[in-house]
């Protein structure tokens, strides 16, 4: 299985994303260069909530047109929730 297929499967099976969000994210992933797809596929499927983070990042860029450093960090904070920085392992599926 190609890495990107693994990533796509992770998106489709992600419990944090709504269907419309999954479709948008899949479309976005399809536009990425293979190297970036592979990079994401190596790290995101194991951490489903990070897929939600990534969706929110992509979504914000789509809406606003750009993403500042503060917005980037804020997206993580808001999506992961307060305190998650200390226990980020708990975001892994099954933990």
Partner 1 sequence: MEGFENPESENIAERVALKYPKFKAAIYAMTAALMLGGEPSRDASIETGERTETLDTIAQKADPHFREVAQSIVGEIKNFSSEQPTNNTYIHRLNYVSVGSLKAYEEQSKGELGDEGENMLVGSDSTSRLYGGSYVDGTNENKIMIDGLSSNFYISAANGELNEGGKITMRGEGESKVEAIQNALENGINFLGTKVETATHSNKKTAMSPSLEVDESLNEVVTTRGSEFVKHYKVTAVHGGDGRPFTVSVDMIVGVPEKK
**Min dist. Cβ of residue 44 to partner 1 (A):** 6
Say whether residue 11 binds partner 1 (CB under 8 A).
no
Say if CB 5 and CB 42 are below 8 A apart: no
Question: Six-digit token pair at 5?
Answer: 């297929």
Q: Is 28 in the site for partner 1 (CB under 8 A)?
A: yes
Identify the CA nearest to 93 among candidates 9, 2, 3, 4.
Answer: 9
Task: At 24, give phi and psi (nearest 5°).
Answer: -65, -40
Q: Which stretches of the chain bind partner 1, using CB under 8 A?
A: 28, 31-33, 35-37, 39-40, 42-44, 47, 50, 53-54, 57-58, 61-62, 64-69, 71-73, 76, 80, 84-85, 88-89, 91
């Amino acid at each position: 299985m190609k890495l990107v297929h693994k990533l796509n499967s992770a998106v489709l099976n992600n419990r944090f994303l709504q269907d419309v969000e999954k479709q948008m994210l899949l479309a976005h992933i399809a536009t990425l260069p293979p190297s970036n797809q592979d990079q994401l596929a190596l790290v995101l499927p194991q951490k489903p909530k990070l897929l939600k983070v990534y969706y929110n990042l992509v979504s914000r860029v789509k809406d606003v047109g750009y993403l500042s450093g503060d917005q980037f960090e804020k997206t993580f904070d808001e999506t992961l929730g307060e305190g998650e920085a200390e226990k980020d392992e708990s975001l892994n599926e099954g933990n």
